[in-house]
Each structure stands twice: as C-alpha cells, then as structure tokens.
A and B are shown apart, each in its own frame.
Chain A
Amino acid sequence: MQTAHRTPCVLLIFILILVTLNGCRQPEKEFTCTDKLGCVHVGPGQPIKIGVLQALHAKVLPLGLAQLHGLELALEKHNNILLGHPIALQVEDTGCTAEGGANAALKIIADPQSVAIFGTTCSQAAMTASQVMSDAGLTMISGNNSSPHLTSVNGVAGQHWQPGFFRTASNEENAGKAAAFFAFNKLGVRKAATLNDGDIYSKGLIMSFSNSFAELGGEIVLGAAIAKGETEMQPVLAAVSQAGAELLFFPLFQPEGNLILLQAKASPELSDLILMSDGALIEQSFIDTVGNRGIGLYFVGPRPPEGAKTEQLTTAYLQKFGSLPSTSYYITAYDAADMLFYAIKNISVTSPDGSLYIGRQALRNMLHSIANYDAVSGSLTCDRYGDCGTSVFNILRLEDPSAGVKGLEKNVLYTYPEHL
C-alpha cells in the first residue's frame, strides 16, 4: 500500500531531475586542433584537396604526364576515396620554370583546404614551389625532382631545402659520382667539360660530377652554361673543342639536350668527343628525335625498379593509358602519391559527423617517420631532409635506338655504388 503511494512521487522526482539535467546539457565539444601549423577541416562529404604541380606543355610534357599517370594509378588503388572522402585534384602547370613553379604554387596555397601538393616535374620549379608551399605550412612530395639542392648534399641541407618537401625520386648526388667514376675509371677520361642550363637540377648534378672527377684526379677544363630556350649551341661546342675536353657532360632537358647532341654530331672537330647526359633524356621522345645520331651517347640515370610489383604496375599503366610509359618515373610518382595517401590516412582524425581534421605538421612528421615502406620502387625510408628514394645509378649507352627506352635501360655498363 505504501509502495503504491511512493511510486508516483519517485517518478515525478526522476522526471524533474532529467528536465533539470537536460537544461544543464553542454553542447557537444568540438575538435581542438593543436597542430602547430594548423589543421585542414574536411567537412562531411567534402573532398580532400590535393594540389598537383607538373610540367604539362612542350617537350617536358611526357615527363609531367608520367607523373600525372602515376598519381592516377595510385588514386585508382584507393578508388579515389580516402577515409570516406573523395580526393579532388587541383592540377596546375609549372612550365618547368622557377617562376611557373612559384605562381602555380600560389594557386594551390590560395585555397586553405589544400592538404598537400604532388609535384613537381622539374627541380627548377620545385625550388620556388617548395618555398611557397613550405611557408604556407603545406607538404609537397615529388616522384621526379632529383636535384641534390632540394634535399641534401653530402649529408647536410641543400641550398634550396624547404621543410615539408619530400621525394621518392633519387637524389642525383650519386648520379654525378657515378658519371665521374665511370668516365675516369672505365673510359679513361682525364679532361672533361660540363654544360648546365641554370636549372638547379643540372647545376646540382654538375657540381657532384665535377667534385668527384677532380677528386679522382681528372680536370674540368670547361664549365659552361646555356640559357633555357637557347637554340644556337655551336659557340659553346666550339669552346668545348678548344678546351681539349675528352668528354662533355650535359645534364639538360629537352629540347636543349637534343640540340647539343645533334649539333655536336654535326661538327667534325667533335667526332672524338664522348657525350654523356642524364636521366632527363632517358625518354622515348628524345630517342625518337635524335634517332641513330644518338648512338654512342652515355646516360647516367637511376636504376629502374624491377620485380613483380613493377610488372604489375606497368601492366596497369598499359591497360589504363593504352601505351607503354615513355619513362620509368611514373613508378616513383605512384610511390610518392601512395605514400602521401598512406600518411594522410594515418594522421587524420575523424569526427563523429564524418568530417576530418588533417594536421599539417603531423602530415610532415608522419612522412619523415616512414621507414621500410614497401613500395614498388623498393623499400623506402624518408630521411630528415625528405629523401625517401634509393640512390643507385646506372651508366647506360644508346646502342640501338629502335629498341627504345626499354632497350636503352637494359644496356647497363656500370652501376654505382659498385657493391649494389
């Protein structure tokens, strides 16, 4: 009987407490970003924005396209979705120049939702673009930039190193050493000339070559330069001839590289001159342009990745784009994009409403901490300056232009470091 009286009272008190507590309810606590460079907040259903800076015109277009295709293959692996958000690309052309790189980077950083940048094709563009993106707190990863100045030279920060810059392409520091060792020890060259186009890529490579060649006891009899876009190469070739050089090392892009080769071959006084270029010309369009006149040209280039994963990726490339890649740099591009997505996935904080918070410094830290990443180009480990790729270089010689890039890459005369 007493219980019957008590029950409504207890119920009433309980309801009253609930009403009071509801009145005191605090609004749901929002995520607080403590990242020192800030966070990108990707709302529910909104895309994760990635800026893409590549050289997408003129002669360097194949290189830029290879990078873009590598990125697309990596996107396909993730079905273009990361943590439930689509990935949106903002593609900008750098024109393979420093100014182009800087302006294209401006377009990316103008959007505060940009999470990271995939690029660039040319080291010259990377030099300015990385400075722009680094100051804006972004992260940039490249599958093609190889100038030592962008990361480190002899274990210390390069002249144009910027925090937040990473690459899976090889640091060309070893390329210069490989070229010098081969020229001095295998070809017996004692006098060499070098030619740069002002690009930090070509300058970095020549610096490494010249230092190593001099250390071995050789002499750099001429260190010449040409401007990008220059077409008349005879004066500089005449200087090479007059200096008595036995070998000309010209790490240039197209079309300047093509012109040096063609005009040197046309000069009878340079018939004994050994010509050596680099990975920028290990490209089908170059071989197609120079044809048989390129026979005997030496190249120093990164050792292309091999193995089942490479074959699988090449097959996927062929299926998606209909033709074989003109350069193997799409592999490092694929790895760069894949590693970037992996890092984003690992550091993103997902809110209950499905939105994401991506810490900008956290993204950089994550990439720096990557070790033994099982990538297509091998096991990748990023160092404190952003170098993640391997640095093994081959010396190649063009024997049969009809065999194309594949044939050229198979004709390995020397590998540096020698124990690999």
Chain B
Amino acid sequence: MKKQRLNWNDLGITTKFSLAFSLLFLLILLIIGTGLIAFRHIHRAEMKIHNSMKIGQLVLQMDRGLERAKRLHANFLIHYPYLGLQKAHEQYAQPAIREIAEVIRISTRLKTLLYSQTPEQKVTISRADLNLYLSSANRFAATSIEAVELITQKVAPERGLETRLNNVYLELDKALGKYPDLRAMHREAFSYFKDYLLSRQRYLMQSSTNALEEIQVTLRHASLKLQDAERLYQLFIEQKKLSNALLDVDQELEGKIRDFALQEETVRPLSKKLTEYVQHQINSSQTVIQQLKLVTGVVMLAAAVISALILFFIAKLTHTTITKNILLLTNTAQKFAMGELDNQVQIYSTDEIGQLSKIFNAMALRLKNLINNLEQEVEKRTAELAASEQRFRHLVNDLPKLAVRGLDETRSIVYWNKACELFYGYTSDEALGKKVEELLLPPAQRPQSMSQFTNWFEHGIIFPSSEQELLHKNGNTVPVYSSPVMQVNSDQSKTIYCVDLDLAELKLAQESSRLNEAFFRQIFEHSSSGLALCEAVDRGRNFRIREMNQAGMDMNNLSRNTLAGMTILDLYPFAEDIGLLPLMRKVWETGVPQQHPTCHYHDKNIDSWRDTRVYRLPNCEIVLVFNDLTQQKQAENEKLVMEKRLQRAQKMEAIGLMAGGVAHDLNNILTSLTGYPELILLKLPKNSELREPVLALKEAGERSAAVVADLLTIARGVARVQEVRSLNDLVNEYLGSPEFIKLKSNSPHIRFTFSYEDYLPLIQCSPVHVKKCVMNLVSNAAEAIEEPGKVHISTQRVTPGEALLQRYGLEPGEYAVLRVVDTGKGIAKQDMENIFEPFYSKKAMGTKSGSGLGLSVVWNTMKDHQGAAIVSNTPDKGACFELYFPSTDKPAVPHPITEQEAFSASGSGEHILVVEDERQPRDIATRMLDHLGYETTGVETGEQALEWLTSNTADLVIIDMILGPGISGEETFNQIHNRNPEQKAILISGFSESSAVKNALALGARGFLKKPYNIERLGKAVRDALDS
C-alpha cells in the first residue's frame, strides 16, 4: 500500500483553523498559568501579612487591655479605703473585670490564629510560653477577683474583719471603763491597731495583741465580778481570732499583689517576642511578593514575544492557503454577475475552497443555459397576461351589483362600467370625461370630497371606504358603500377607482328590522310577567342577566343600576338548590323550552312564590318568563285556614246544639240519679252495707252531670264574659281548690312550679270557665307525665305579632297569657290539628279523666272570650298550652274572698210550691225540702201552679223553666209576678243560664239553680231566696 504524504493544501479549512487556534490557545494557557501561579503566591504572602498584622494587633489590644485592667485594679486597691467598698467595687473592680473579660476574648481569638498558622509560619516561641502568655488574662482575672474577695473580707460593712475588730476594741474600752490603768493599757493596744491599719506592719498588730495579753494577766490577779470577767475574756478571744484572721488576709493580699508583679514580669518579654515574630513574618512576606513580581514580569514578557511571532506565522499561512483563494473566487463571481457568463475559477487546492470553486464553475454553466431558456418563457407569459387582463376588464365592466368608476388626477371620469349606468342613470358616453363632482356629488358633499381626492392624488393621504349618498341622473339620491383604490399607471399618472355597492335594499331591510325591534321592546317592557334575558357565563355554570323588564325588576326589588353585571346566582343565591339553574343549563344545552314548577323562593332579599318558564333564543341567549304568585298563594292559604276554622266552628256548633238539646232531659234524669241516692244516704245508718254502693251511684251521677256541664259549655255562648278579673288571681284560686290539692296528692312524682307576671293586664271573663280551663290543662299535663317530671304554670303579658293575630283570628292588642308546660311525651304531630275536638282523646277509656271534652271546653271557652288556645311541643319533648285572653281597660270588680259561712239550709215550716213537669225530679225536690224542714206542694204544669196560687199562698215558688204541654216556666213566672210582684221565686233548669232565665232574673226572680242539684245547693238556694 502506497503511503500518502500529508500535504498542507489537502487539509480542510476547519483543520487548518483548528491547528492555528490551538496554537493560540496554548499561548493563552501559558499566560494564564503564569498569572495564576503568581497570584497564588502573592495571595499566600498577603494572607501571611494579614494574619501577622492581625496577630500583632491582637497582641497590642491584649497588652493594652491588660494594662487598663491592671490600672483599674490598682485604683481599686488605692481608693476603696475612702470611697467605700461598694463604690470602689462599682467604679474600679467591675470595670477591671469587664476589661479583662474582653482581654480573655481577644486571647481566645489570638490563640486560634496562632495555632492555625501553616508549618512555615509556625511561631518561634515555645508552646509553653505561648500558653503562659495567652492565659495571662485568665490568671489576672482570678488573682484580681481573689484580691477583691480578700478586701471584702477585711472591710465589708458590718461583717468585715476590720469593722468587727474595731467593734471589739470599742467594747473592750467600754468594759474596762471601771479600771483606769487597764483602760490606758487598752488604749495603747488600740493605737497599735490603728497604726497597723495605716501601715500594715505585722509587728504593730503583735504589739497590740501583746498589750491586751498584759491586760489579761493583770486581770487574772484582780478580783472582778464573774460576769465582767466572762465578757472581757470573750472579747479578748474574739480580738485574737479576728486579728489573726486580719493578719492572714493581709498576708494573702500581699501575696496577690506580688503575684500581679510576677505576672507582669513574665508576660512582658513574651509580648515583645510575639511582636518581633509578627514583624519578621511581615518582612519575609513582603520580600516574597517583590521576588514574585520580578519573575512574573519576565515570564509574561517572554510569552508576549513568542505569541507575536506565532501570530505572524499563522496570519501568513492563512492568507496563502485560504484568503488568497477566496479572493480569486470572489473576483470570478463578480465578473459573472456583470454578465460575463463564460468565466471559470482557477482551482489550486482540494480543500473546501477548491470544492467551492468547482461547484461555482458547474453552477455558472447551468445558469448560463437557464437564462437563455428564461427569455423565451417571458414572452409566452406576457401574452397570457394580456389575455387575462382583457378577461378581467370584461368582468368588471359587466358586474351587475358593483359600480366601478375611475377618476384621473383632475377628477374627470375615465372609467364607467355597466353597473354605473344602472346605479346613476348615465351612460358611459355621458359620464366619461365629466368631473365627478358635477355628475354625482351632492352640492353639500362636494368641498369635502374634492379635498379628499386632492389630498390623495397630491399628498398620498388615503381616504377610507364609507357610506355615501350620490346623485342619480333623475335627481334622487343613491345610497352606496364606496371603496376607493388608487392605481399608478405605467406613465406614472394616477387613477382612483371607486367601487360602489348599492345600499338601497340594505337600508330598507334595516328600517324594517328597527321597527320590529321597537315593537318587541315595547312588548318586553310592558309585559306584566317578569322577563329576563340572560347569557351563559363560565361555560353555563352561571348566567349573566343582560336585560330585565320593569315587571321583573319590581318582583325582584331591583333597579337598572343594581342590575348591571348581575348573575342569576347573585339574584337567586339558592337558584341551584331550587333547580332553576340546572333547568336553565338544560335549556341552554338542548334548546327545548322548560317549565320550572311553581315554588316558594326565600332568601334575604326575596320571599315569594314563583312560576318560571325558560326558553332559548337562536343566539343561545336564555329568556326567563316569571310570574309572582305570592298573593295568589297567600289567598289560597288564608282560604284554607278560614275553611278549617269554619269547619271546626260548625262542628262545635253542631255538638253544642246537640248537647243543648239533650242537656235538659239528661239533667232531669241526672237529678233523679243524684237526688235519690242522696236522699237514701240521709236515711241509711252510717254502718249500713248499702251505703257504699249508693254513694258510688251518687258519684256516677255527679260525674255524668259534669260531662253534661262540659257539653253545655261547648255550646257557644255559654261561658259568658261577665267579670273583670286578674288571671293571676284565677290561677291562684284554682291552685287553692280541692281539685288541685287532690291532683297534687295523686301525683307525687310530679313537681308543680309557678311563675307569674307581676304586671299582668286584667281580663273580662267568666271566672268559672277560666278556672275550669286551668283545671283541665293542669290535669291533662299531669296525666301526660308517667315518669318523674314537672308541670310549670305561668302567666305573661304578651303583644302578639301579625302572624299570630292572623293565624288565630285575634284582635291586635295586649293579651294576658296563661301557659302550662309539662315534661311528658308531648303531642304527636298528627294529633295537633284535632286535639281540641270533642271526644278526640288519646287516653284509654276508663282512665281517670276520660270524658274527652276537657280541651274542647278550653277551646270553646277561649272562643267565647275572643281569645285563642295554642298548643305546641316544647324543645324537651313536653307539651305547651297557651291561652290568650284579651286585656281590658275596665277596672276590676272587687272580689272579696270570704270564708265559707256556716250555713243552715234548714227551713222552719215555710211553704214551698214546686213546679216541675217530670215526676221524679219533682218528687226529689219535695223530698229534699221536706227533709230540710219545709212544707212542700208539687204541681206538674204552670197552669196548675197558677191555679194553686189563687187559693193558697207559698213563701217560695220553685219553677222549672222547661215544662211539658202548656205554658213555659218563663210564662208561669211572669204571670205569678204580674199577680203578685212580691212573690219570691227561684228558677231551675237543665240548661245553663238562658235568655229566658236572664229575663226572669231581671224581672225579680231570686235565683237560678242548675240541674242536677244536690240537697245542699237546693237548700242554700231556697234559704237565700227566702232570706232575700
């Protein structure tokens, strides 16, 4: 295989440039490397200088700090005797320690710096000396504080050795007052002590102690009182102990002071050594930097020279092999561009430029051939273009709906197509050459249009397309939409072509549309139904209300201002919950109109019944048509309530009528049923076995009588409102009644509680019936409680609200309310409506109550009082009955509460005529009266009575109000009264007080007795009448 020699000309340009730039890069690396090494060494030298300077600075700071601390400490030692310990402490000792703490902090930093030096920078001082120097501050601090403590021991106020010793001397002086010689000796000892305090010479203290020793020796020979001796010896011992302690402290203090001097001597040379070390380090580093600067300079210069030579070589090589060939190729290309198509490039190398030259030569050859073909093609295309232009001209000319007219720079018409003839009535012959303003422009429009044409032709200011009204040949205006376009002709002249579109039909259509819109707008605005036009937002999650008619805004309490930007959810926050929004979405998606069912919508702004229809417009907008049915619904509800109330009233009335009808007969029967047993009981011995069944018979009769009485109460109008009373008093009267006492004793598991309104309004009422209501409610409440529970009876002053007044048909005003609340099982919802109906009892038959009329009595009584009975369940599941009595402004009738007077119903032979059509009641009445000591005569009819009275006299006539065939009881009384107005009479009846009874009473009857009666009531009524 023949080995090919590597020729420079055969290499690619990339390789040539790569080699050249690699060489350059190597040079750059050389320079950077030199710089980096130099920088590194300089940096290290600088760091060394920096560290050394820092060390020097710290050593200086340490020395100065230590010096300041020493000075402060020395000041403390000097000043404490006259400044006082505490002040000297504050002024000198404490600042000294703070200063030394700072020095310790500096020494820690210095230590870190010194021990972090590189091996070549290692400190030349031994580690032991270094540690000694660094710990000097700590040692000074310790010694200084110990010295302060020693001084404290000496001179602390009260507890200091000197004070205590001084006190001992003074006490001794006092104790030796009786012995002048000894006292003189003591004073000498004291003066030695004082001298010691000044000079701190130990011998002085010793002399003082010696003098005291002498006193002690003398004392041993003297005859002292035992107490004095003991005290003195104690003081001598104390003096010795304290003086020894003081000497020790002073000695220790001296040691500390010497220690300070020693520390200073040790530290000073070390500090000097460190300073010298620092200076040495700085000098050596500076030398290194100087040397480095020189070496780096030389290296950089050499690198620069070499770089220049290499650059020259690269430039020469690049020119010869690359640039020169490129220039040759460029020249040939220029000639080719000038049209010398036969030129070819000379090829010298096989690199990319050689390849490019080859390609250029081939390309030039192909281009030459191509140009020759192109000229023939141009001729062919020009002919085709001319044909195409002709076609276009025909097209424009024949356009039926677009009028095209051309104007030259003098605004003369140079082009006029067929549509122009139709639009404006001029033929092309008539139009061509005419000025446009003369032909088409209305006079008012001319100045503006002419200036627009001039501006465009002369200044290039384009005027836009616009609607215009031009003139027809016949003088009419022609509405057109005119679009101008300018064409520059080959001779540089300019022509403006106006393309006009006829707007006559469009205008007609617009007018029609406007009229339609106004029509529908009127319907929209004046519709009595609410109309809202909405558009979907948020992909149909919500709908923005675009428009709403006045009726709609009135229904929703809106105004035009508030409507802006409002959405359905803003208007109806619960639209999702009531199903309106889903329905709107459905209509929006499907386009099928929907009816939203009538519903009651309620939020903080709207409370009404609504009926809504939803449909979609072709533009996908949603229309809501809604009606407010609130009034209609209210009317329906009111009607329902009224109907219910009417039904109940009718029911009650029917029952009342029925009760009234049978009451008389029943009462007559019951009179026998209660009367005969009573008469039998009067005759039966107390130990008779028959007594109990007869008594039961009597009680059964009485209970039946109570039922009949209730039935009569149900008959409307029975509970006549007569007296003005306080509801509180009536409740109290019931609570004191035997019925309530019995109820309480039978219900030990129930707690009865009461609360009364203090300022309860008075009521006009039938007290008997009101008390009966109270009794019925309390009894019912007690019976409802099976387990231990509570019945709460309360009264309250209430002014009912509108809703309550309407619901229960009450008159506005103040009411006294009785409330009975129990903790029983409450009342089932389904029973609430019927609970006041007669015989609607949930209690099992045969239980303790059982008539089924209790609540009916309550209801009827409240109706008779124009009040209301309201029942509800309490939150803790019990029942709550409320009786609303209308208040009255009339004053209360005094109602004296009197003790039951001892009453004697016995007669003393007075003659009594009994008029009674029924045999048994008549028999019972006469028997009872006989038993009471009256003489009696019984007759069956009113006529018999009148006849009997014509021939006899009676002290009293008892007349049954309902008599059989013949005259009535009322008539009988009237006739008797007419004959003898002084005739005393009382009336009896199975009914309650009727109008007939009232008339008779008004006429002079002495009383009314309701059947059935017992012997006591009969006796009392007779006695009252006779005594009146």
Residues of A within 8 A of B (CB): 2, 5, 9, 12, 16, 19-20, 23, 97-100, 102-103, 106-107, 109-112, 128, 131-132, 135-136, 227-229
Contact = CB atoms under 8 A, between A and B. Distances in A.
A137 B156 CA distance: 26
A379 to B, nearest CB: 37
Nearest to A102: B89
A229 B93 contact: no
A107 B105 CA distance: 15
Contact of A106 (B29, B85, B93, B104): B93
Contact of A128 (B36, B40, B86, B97): B86
A246 to B, nearest CB: 31
A11 to B, nearest CB: 12
Interface in B58-117: 85-86, 89-90, 93-94, 97-98, 100-102, 104-105, 108
Given A227-B158, A229-B159, A109 B152 contact: no
A247 B152 CA distance: 37
B17 to A, nearest CB: 10
A19 B40 CA distance: 12
B562 interface: no
A99 B102 contact: no
Contacts of B101: 109-112, 136
B149 A103 contact: yes
A219 to B, nearest CB: 30
B196 interface: no
A150 B186 CA distance: 45
Closest 5 CB pairs of A and B: A112-B105, A110-B141, A112-B101, A99-B152, A106-B97
Interface string B174-214: 00000000000000000000000000000000000000000
A16 B32 contact: yes
6 contacts: A102-B94, A106-B145, A110-B141, A227-B158, A229-B158, A229-B159
B94 A103 contact: no
A16 B94 contact: no
Contacts of A228: 158-159
A126 B156 CA distance: 17
B25 interface: yes
A19 B145 CA distance: 56
A5 B14 contact: yes
Contact of A131 (B39, B90, B145): B90
B98 A136 contact: yes
A109 B40 contact: no
B93 A23 contact: no
B39 A23 contact: yes
Contacts of A23: 36, 39-40
Given A110-B142, A112-B101, 5 more contacts: A9-B18, A16-B32, A110-B104, A110-B145, A112-B105
B148 interface: yes
Contacts of B149: 103
B757 to A, nearest CB: 37
Contacts of A227: 158
Contact of B94 (A9, A99, A112, A132): A132
A228 B158 CA distance: 8
Contacts of B94: 102, 106, 109, 132, 135-136
Nearest to A137: B98
A12 B25 CA distance: 10
A98 B145 CA distance: 15
A111 B97 CA distance: 9
A111 B104 contact: yes
Contacts of B156: 97, 99
Nearest to B156: A99
Given A112-B102, A135-B98, A97 B25 contact: no
Given A2-B14, A112-B104, A106 B148 contact: yes
Contacts of B145: 103, 106-107, 110
A356 B148 CA distance: 33
Interface string B20-64: 001001000100100010011000000000000000000000000
A359 B29 CA distance: 49
Contacts of B40: 23
Contacts of A128: 86, 89
A136 B104 CA distance: 14
A135 B22 CA distance: 70
B152 A103 contact: yes
A136 B148 CA distance: 18
A287 to B, nearest CB: 27
Which of A16, A111, A112, A128 gathers most chain B CB within 10 Å? Answer: A112
B86 A98 contact: yes
Nearest to A229: B159
Contacts of B105: 112
B97 A110 contact: yes
Contacts of A2: 14
Contacts of A97: 156, 159
Contacts of B104: 110-112
Contacts of B25: 9, 12
A103 B148 contact: yes
Contact of B100 (A20, A99, A100, A110): A110
Nearest to A23: B36
A179 to B, nearest CB: 27
A162 to B, nearest CB: 12
B168 to A, nearest CB: 14
A106 B95 CA distance: 10
B85 A109 contact: no
A16 B29 contact: yes
Nearest to B94: A132
Contacts of B29: 16
Contacts of B158: 227-229
A97 B36 CA distance: 67
Nearest to B155: A99
B36 A109 contact: no
Interface in B115-152: 141-142, 145, 148-149, 152
A110 B105 CA distance: 10
A144 B719 CA distance: 84
A160 to B, nearest CB: 12
Contacts of B93: 106
B32 A109 contact: no
Which of A100, A103, A228 gathers most chain B CB within 10 Å? Answer: A103
Interface string B648-691: 00000000000000000000000000000000000000000000
Contacts of A135: 94, 98
A229 B36 CA distance: 78
A311 to B, nearest CB: 41
Which of A20, A97, A102, A128 gathers most chain B CB within 10 Å? Answer: A102
Nearest to B93: A106
Contacts of A136: 94, 97-98, 101
A19 B28 CA distance: 14
Contacts of B14: 2, 5
A122 to B, nearest CB: 14
Nearest to B96: A106
Given A110-B104, A135-B98, A229-B159, A20 B32 contact: yes
A102 B15 CA distance: 87
